[in-house]
Chain A
Amino acid sequence: MKLNFRGIPAHIILIIFSVIALFPFYFMTVTAFKTNNEYYENLYAPPEDWTVENFGVLIEKHKFFRGFLNSAIVTIASIGLTIIVSVFASYAYSKMDFKGRKFILSLTVSLSSIPIMIVIIPIFALMSKLKLLDTYAGVSIVYASFMLPFSIFFLTGFFNSIPNELLNAASIDGCSRFQTLFRIIMPLSRPIITALVIVNSLWVWNDLLIAMMFLRLDRMRTIAVSLHLVGGRYALNPVLIQAGAFFVAVPMVIVFLVGQRYFTRGLLAGALKE
């Protein structure tokens, strides 16, 4: 009788909330396949004639493939960097003892509460001096750094839940600290890292402010920026915007569905448990 609240009422509640959760997704999808005139005539119903014309415009005129490619490069590079750096740091915070550990960790965590727009101009100046503007490397570093506090916070909690006995056993077997990380910790935390990858890539994929400021050349634009430029000041072509949003969302849906198995198990594996 583990948690026996599962009868009809539970289903009703879940169905209602699923509908609420899915509604904007539904709206986006049906609008993406409408023509402009049809959008103004019937707003919420599915289109009578499905059209893919909008996607043609996006790819041809707004260079969505190019944007997709840029986004993919930036997302993969920055996530990779974040994961490597934060795994090392979290390992130290969680499994090693050193002076100032708590202080540095709390400072690190509270850094993620600094609003982006207030630090962005000094960072811009810095990147400009380092000649990293309009490069994938530069923008990936910026993204990675913004994701670090949360990632370290997240991973430290998980690493805490890995029993020390495991590590001690490895140490007796002659593993160095570095080897322990790769032989014991990494295999155990594959799921949690998948979870982190999904959460972080959703943010990078959809971000505007940083992409806009650090990748200024038209050929470097990310897909979120392309979508933003489609929308324009008054968002007067709703059909094209929703088609663009659909285009932007599809890769993330795939990433989520593929990663979901890991994702749910990732946090399941005892993450953050006391």
Chain B
Amino acid sequence: MNNNFSKKYGPYFYILPSMVFLSLIFVFPMIQNLVKSFYRTSFDGGKSVFYGFNNYIFLLTKDFLTRAAAWHNVKLLMLIPMLLVLSIFFSVILSGKIRGAKIYQTFMFAPYIISIVVVGVVFSRMLRFDGIINLMLTKIGLGMLAKDWFGRTQYALYAIIVVILWRELPFGIILFSAGIRNIDESIYEAAKIDGANWLQTVFHITIPQLKGIINFYVIYNIMMVFAWMFTYVFVMTKGGPGNSTTILELQIYNLAFKKYQVGMASALSILLFITIFIFIYFQFRFRTSLLEER
């Protein structure tokens, strides 16, 4: 009897501590936000006025800034294929029996150690119109590629994407190098006997074998793109020039802390959460491997 009980309900005790923390930090505040999203704060003494769905309606139909921000977040999703391709590329090179692979790997991890604030300062310096990058481009005869990266609306978001790529790549490289090293050597031997060339082994053996990690990495990056980009944007452009790099997080921050529209900030965060939940839900639904036991 006792044994049966523990078998049935034991697992819940294992997850209970995490549930406590998560309710404390996420669930409870999100419930509060859900309530707040139906109110607006009145400047007449700070009363909360019931506002129905008006916050949502405003955000979804009228607020051009939120629309722009959402679009920029969608554009940031292009980071995911870039990160995937580059990190697989580098980890494939690094795990070939290249001399000094370990040293290269250590060097390539450097970006991940520096705080984003410092990264922002240094890259702002390098990417400015008379900065070292444009100087080098001009020197090697690519002067037409020297643009005002942070000064023009067309380029600012891409400049930010490059910086994010630079800083987030190491995590992917380490992840995939480890994965590749774990692939059974005999599979490669078999391919060798079949006469497969290098490219074929990469596409037919390495990448399929990495499916689990790829899956993990994609989900991780989706969350990163929607919820962990604030510091990059805040440090480098604060949404400018001309709102061309505003993202949803910045929008939430400005609404909550600068414009005192807490109700609207809450509504936006609820919308954001629902969007990401859908993303992740589909990831889990169609690629259940991560959750399934082998």
A residues with a Cβ closer than 8 A to B are 1-6, 10-11, 13-14, 17-18, 20-25, 27-28, 44, 84-86, 88-89, 91-98, 101-102, 104-119, 121-123, 126, 141-142, 144-146, 148-150, 152-154, 156-157, 160-161, 163-164, 177, 195, 199, 202, 205-206, 208, 224, 227-228, 231, 235, 238, 241-242, 245, 248-249, 252-253, 256-257, 260, 263-274
Contacts and interface: CB of A to CB of B under 8 A. Distances in A.
B291 A105 contact: yes
B181 interface: yes
Interface string B81-124: 00000000010111111100000111111111111111101110
B266 A21 contact: no
Contacts of A141: 21, 24
Contact of A88 (B14, B30, B122): B14
Contacts of B121: 235, 238, 241
A160 B294 contact: yes
A85 B13 CA distance: 11
A199 B170 contact: no
B15 A249 contact: no
Given A141-B21, A273-B179, A3 B252 contact: no
Contacts of B174: 195, 263-264, 267
A154 B215 CA distance: 12
B21 A96 contact: no
B219 A109 contact: yes
20 contacts: A6-B97, A10-B98, A14-B94, A21-B166, A89-B18, A94-B293, A102-B284, A113-B273, A113-B277, A119-B30, A121-B256, A153-B216, A160-B293, A206-B117, A241-B121, A264-B105, A266-B178, A267-B179, A268-B181, A271-B213
Contacts of B294: 160-161, 163-164, 274
Contacts of A231: 117
Contacts of B273: 110, 113-114
A115 B230 contact: yes
Nearest to A117: B253
Contacts, number: 297
B21 A144 contact: yes
Given A86-B18, A97-B11, A104-B15, 9 more contacts: A3-B188, A92-B12, A98-B8, A106-B284, A114-B269, A119-B29, A126-B29, A264-B174, A270-B182
B212 interface: yes
A231 B26 CA distance: 31
A117 B15 contact: no
Contacts of A205: 115
A120 to B, nearest CB: 8
B252 A113 contact: no
B71 interface: no
Contacts of A163: 294
Q: Which 9 A-B pairs have the closest CB atoms?
A: A267-B178, A145-B25, A122-B29, A92-B14, A206-B115, A89-B18, A3-B96, A118-B269, A119-B29
A251 B18 CA distance: 29
A84 B162 CA distance: 36
Given A5-B93, A44-B132, A115 B269 contact: yes
Interface stretch (B56-64, B145-153, B220-228): B220-228
Q: Which of A22, A121, A241 neighbours the largest number of chain B CB atoms within 10 Å of its CB?
A: A121
B213 to A, nearest CB: 5
Contacts of A161: 212, 294
Contacts of B201: 2-3
Contacts of A118: 29, 33, 252, 256, 265-266, 269
Nearest to B214: A272
| Interface size class of chain B, counting residues whose CB lies under 8 Å from the partner chain | 35 or more
A196 to B, nearest CB: 12
B96 A5 contact: yes
Contacts of A249: 113-115, 118
A59 to B, nearest CB: 19
A245 B284 contact: no
B76 to A, nearest CB: 13
Contacts of A157: 212, 216, 290
A6 to B, nearest CB: 4
A231 to B, nearest CB: 8
B118 A28 contact: yes
A163 B21 CA distance: 29
Interface string B250-277: 0011001100000001100100110011
Given A18-B104, A18-B108, A150-B220, A85 B18 contact: yes
Contacts of B90: 14, 17
A10 B108 contact: no
Contacts of B178: 264-269, 271
Contacts of B188: 1-3
Q: Which of A14, A23, A265, A270 neighbours the largest number of chain B CB atoms within 10 Å of its CB?
A: A14
B51 interface: no
A161 to B, nearest CB: 7
